[in-house]
Structures are given as structure tokens and as C-alpha cells.
């Protein structure tokens, strides 16, 4: 066994020693789901475990009271490596993105790395990033400087496969409102202007447009207000649409085409359109291939079968995307569910607890800690990560 292997073994043993604590964190988050920026209990459970493991913990970062940072620093220099934790859930669908697993794995990785950081040097930290499900907590933390000085960071998402060089796509959102004129729907409908008709025409137009959009583009929506009473011509309706694409350039070409459908429906019906597009569309994940390659090797060392990234499926988005263009990042997937269990479903929530979820937590924590050790002891790897990151940013 090499010195590096011994360090990795020590980190893995430290994670195994905390398995019951990590599973308890995950199970509690699953049982008591908290929504974006309300994750008071989840924050407390993670911070307690990290503090008990000897890390210095700050609860509340900047304007985000449910964020946290737990730090362990060696006396000798080395890279500053962050393990990210997400812990909010979705209304109705609970932990259907597996953030309870994400959080427990991040806490475990930080504890495992803390066991060896005195030998490898530098700093390891767990960074609690609330509000991923639509809140953009990482974007807020980035604007407030909490990602400054980090050399590399990682987090793991549970899914169907073990994919180190995973991806997310860029995304933006538009809030839509149509304003018409109310009238009695039976007695004098000709005196009304039907805002719901305008919205339905717009959505049907976008549905037809989908066939002519690039294959990586996704457009989806909900109607948040469809009227008041069926006997009244709807005079105000609202909707939210999300548009996603593999990269910012494609997203920029698609947005005007979607907007044209919205505007055309208003013109056809005489309704007034008000819409607000996000000022800053979310960018796709800039996954660092050099770092992902080492993570893949560590997964295989743990006995896991891996596969390459898939450029067509797995088109989700997240607030890691934007910050990955400022800090070298990976966001691997780790197998947890059967292939017929879709994320953001009741079935995925159910799969986020139990033996498969626990195995995913331990494997994810170990692979992250092992990859951090590689970064700390291998100057060539750290240099390659930095060079790739700089080159990708110049190209992007």
C-alpha cells in the first residue's frame, strides 16, 4: 500500500465510523422536509455532526441564515477544497431530488478529509448551500464572497448511474401574465377579452415550436392562475415557463422564439401581455474533466462500475452551474435508483431512504474524500485542473 493509498484508507475508515450519524442526518431530512431557505433543522443536524468531528463551524453566512461553513485547516500549506451540501426539498414531492443524500455525503466527505488534512496540508471545508430548488442559494453565496479562495469543489447527486464527468444544462425562467376583459361567458361573451385563450394559444404555439428546436432544448410550464369562475371570461391569468439548453449560446437563440409565441398570442386575442424573463440565465455546469477523471478512478477503486456522460439525457439544471465557472467543479452522479425511477417524483422521494440510499451516501463521501486527497498530494493533478479551468473559461 502506497502512502496515498494509506491516506485514502484512513479517510474511508473515518467515514465508516460516522456512518450511523450520516444516515441519521439523511433520514431526518427525509422525514422532516424543509423548503428553500427554511432549512433550520437540516442546518443544525449537519453542523452538530461536523462540530462533533472537530471542524470549526459557522452557522449562517452573509444574508443566508440557513447556510453554513465547517472548516479544518492544516499547519502546512495546500489546496482549499470544498464539499458542497444541499438540503432543501420540494413542495409536495419532498426529497425527490435526493438532497438529503447530497447533504449527508458532503458532511461525510468533509469528516473523512479532516482525518487526513493534517498530513496532506491545506484546508477542507463543508459548505452548506441552501435554496437550490429555485432559490439560487449558491449564486447568493458567490455574490457575497463565500466561494472566494476555493481551489476545487465537488458535490454528488444520486441518480441511476455512476458518472464522474456529469453535466447540467443552462436554464432560464419567464413569469407570464395576460390581461383581458371580464364578461358574462353566456350572456355577452363578445364584450370580453379572454386572457386564458391567449395563454393557451401561446402554450400551444410553443408546443408546436418544440419540433423545430435543437434536441438539447427543453421547455416546460405550469399555469399558476387560469381564471376565477367558468361563467366569467378570464381577465387575468398567469404562468411560469422554464427553458433549458446545453449551453448559454443555444439558450440565447431560443429565448426570442419563445417570446415571439407569447407576444403573438396577445396580438391574436387582444389581451395585454406582461412577462419578465430572468435577468441572468443559469449557466450549464463546467465540469472539470481532469478532476472528474480522478473521481472516476476512485469510484472504480471502491468497486463501482462507471459510465461516461450522456449528452442527451439528464437535462436538469442547478445553481452549481453558475459558480462552476468561477471555481473548478465536479458534480458526479452516483447510482441509487432503478432506471424507471424519475427524479422529482414521489418514487424518487421514497428511494432516497433505505439501504440503497445509505450505500450511495458512503460511496459518494469516500470518492469525494479520496479525490480531495489526490488533489492535495499530487501537484500535477492540481496544475492540470487549474489549466483546464483557465482554458475552458477563455473558450467559454
What whole-number distance in Å separates Cα of residue 140 and Cα of residue 221?
25
How far does Cα 377 stand from its chain's mean position?
29
Domain count, the chain: 2
Q: Which of 253, 277, 301 corresponds to the end of one domain? A: 277
Domain check: are 289 and 240 in the same one? no
Report the SS3 class of residue 351. Answer: helix
Domain check: are 103 and 117 in the same one? yes
Domain check: are 75 and 98 in the same one? yes
Characterize 292-306 residue by residue with b for buried, 16 or more Cβ atoms within 10 angstroms of its Cβ, and e for exposed. Answer: bbbbbbbbeebeeeb
Cell numbers placing 12: 474511508
Q: Which of 242, 277, 312 corresponds to the end of one domain? A: 277
What whole-number distance in Å separates Cα of residue 320 and Cα of residue 282?
9
Q: Distances in Å between the alpha carbon of 41 and those of 27, 86, 170, 216?
A: 12, 13, 31, 38
Q: In the prediction, which pLDDT does 125 show?
A: 97
Looking up cell 467515514 gives: 15
The pair phi, psi for residue 392, each rounded to 5°, is -65, -40
pLDDT averaged per 10 residues in sequence order, the chain, 396 residues: 93 98 98 98 98 98 98 97 98 96 98 98 98 93 98 97 94 97 96 98 97 92 96 98 93 96 98 94 94 98 93 76 97 95 96 98 98 97 97 84
What are the residues whose beta carbons fall under 8 Å from the beta carbon of 222, sequence distance 6 or more?
Answer: 239, 240
Domain check: are 180 and 233 in the same one? yes
**42 touches 87 (CB < 8 A):** yes
Domain check: are 16 and 150 in the same one? yes
Domain check: are 267 and 184 in the same one? yes
What are the residues whose beta carbons fall under 8 Å from the beta carbon of 155, sequence distance 6 or more?
Answer: 83, 84, 85, 86, 102, 105, 106, 320, 331, 368
Q: Which domain holds residue 73?
A: 3-168+285-395
**95 touches 29 (CB < 8 A):** yes
What are the residues whose beta carbons fall under 8 Å from the beta carbon of 236, sequence distance 6 or more?
Answer: 177, 178, 179, 180, 195, 225
Report the CATH number at residue 210.
Answer: 3.30.70.360
Closest CA to 58 of 71, 45, 72: 71
N residues, the chain: 396
Q: Look at the alpha carbons of 20, 303, 338, 107 in this order and tell me if their dihedral is positive or negative.
A: positive
Pairing of strands 170-179, 236-245: antiparallel
Looking up cell 435554496 gives: 131
Domain check: are 44 and 164 in the same one? yes
Q: In the prediction, which pLDDT does 313 show?
A: 59
**Residue 156 CB coordination number (10 Å):** 29
Q: H or E stretch including 178? A: strand 170-179
Report the SS3 class of residue 131. Answer: coil
Bridge partners of residue 69, in order along the sequence: 58, 127
Helices 3-17 + 19-31 axis angle, to 10: 50
Report the CATH number at residue 356.
Answer: 3.40.630.10
Domain check: are 89 and 31 in the same one? yes
Looking up cell 422564439 gives: 257
Domain check: are 341 and 266 in the same one? no
Q: In the prediction, which pLDDT does 107 show?
A: 98
Q: In the prediction, which pLDDT does 324 show?
A: 97
**68 touches 46 (CB < 8 A):** yes
Q: In the prediction, which pLDDT does 361 show?
A: 98
Q: Distances in Å between the alpha carbon of 105 and those of 75, 99, 108, 172, 197?
A: 26, 10, 5, 29, 48
Q: In the prediction, which pLDDT does 314 show?
A: 60
Q: Which of 277, 307, 339 corresponds to the end of one domain? A: 277
Domain check: are 299 and 257 in the same one? no
What whole-number distance in Å separates Cα of residue 305 and Cα of residue 283?
29
What whole-number distance in Å separates Cα of residue 247 and Cα of residue 74?
39
Bridge partners of residue 240, in order along the sequence: 175, 222
Closest CA to 264 of 317, 306, 218, 204: 204
Amino acid at each position: 500500500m502506497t502512502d496515498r493509498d494509506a491516506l485514502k484508507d484512513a479517510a474511508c475508515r473515518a467515514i465508516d465510523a460516522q456512518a450511523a450519524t450520516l444516515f441519521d442526518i439523511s433520514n431526518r431530512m427525509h422525514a422532516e422536509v424543509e423548503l428553500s431557505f427554511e432549512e433550520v433543522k437540516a442546518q443544525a443536524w449537519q453542523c452538530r455532526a461536523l462540530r462533533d468531528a472537530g471542524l470549526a463551524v459557522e452557522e449562517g453566512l452573509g444574508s443566508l441564515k440557513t447556510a453554513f461553513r465547517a472548516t479544518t485547516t492544516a499547519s502546512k500549506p495546500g489546496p482549499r477544497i470544498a464539499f458542497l451540501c444541499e438540503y432543501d426539498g420540494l413542495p409536495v414531492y419532498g426529497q425527490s431530488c435526493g438532497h438529503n443524500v447530497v447533504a449527508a455525503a458532503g458532511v461525510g466527505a468533509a469528516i473523512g478529509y479532516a482525518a487526513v488534512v493534517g498530513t496532506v496540508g491545506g484546508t477542507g471545508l463543508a459548505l452548506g448551500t441552501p435554496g437550490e430548488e429555485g432559490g439560487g442559494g449558491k449564486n447568493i453565496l458567490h455574490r457575497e464572497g463565500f466561494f472566494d479562495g476555493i481551489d476545487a469543489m465537488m458535490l454528488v447527486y444520486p441518480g441511476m448511474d455512476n458518472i464522474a464527468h456529469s453535466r447540467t444544462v443552462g436554464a432560464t425562467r419567464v413569469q407570464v401574465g395576460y390581461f383581458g376583459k371580464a364578461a358574462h361567458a353566456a350572456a355577452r361573451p363578445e364584450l370580453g377579452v379572454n386572457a386564458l385563450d391567449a395563454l393557451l394559444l401561446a402554450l400551444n404555439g410553443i408546443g408546436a415550436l418544440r419540433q423545430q428546436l435543437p434536441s438539447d432544448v427543453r421547455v416546460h410550464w405550469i399555469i399558476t392562475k387560469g381564471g376565477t369562475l367558468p361563467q366569467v371570461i378570464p381577465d387575468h391569468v398567469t404562468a411560469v415557463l422554464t427553458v433549458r439548453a446545453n449551453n448559454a449560446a443555444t439558450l440565447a437563440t431560443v429565448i426570442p422564439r419563445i417570446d415571439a409565441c407569447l407576444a403573438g398570442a396577445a396580438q391574436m386575442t387582444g389581451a395585454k401581455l406582461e412577462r419578465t424573463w430572468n435577468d441572468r440565465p443559469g449557466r450549464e455546469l463546467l465540469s472539470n474533466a481532469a478532476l472528474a477523471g480522478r473521481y472516476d478512478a476512485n469510484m472504480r477503486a471502491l468497486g463501482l462500475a462507471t459510465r461516461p456522460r450522456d449528452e442527451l439525457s439528464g437535462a436538469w439544471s442547478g445553481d452549481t452551474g453558475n459558480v462552476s465557472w468561477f471555481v473548478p467543479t465536479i458534480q458526479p452522479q452516483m447510482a441509487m435508483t432503478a432506471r424507471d425511477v424519475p427524479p422529482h417524483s414521489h418514487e424518487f422521494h421514497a428511494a432516497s431512504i433505505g439501504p440503497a440510499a445509505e450505500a450511495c451516501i458512503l460511496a459518494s463521501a469516500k470518492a469525494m474524500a479520496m479525490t480531495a486527497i489526490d488533489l492535495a498530494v499530487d501537484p500535477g493533478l492540481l496544475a492540470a485542473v487549474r489549466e483546464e479551468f483557465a482554458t475552458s473559461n477563455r473558450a467559454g
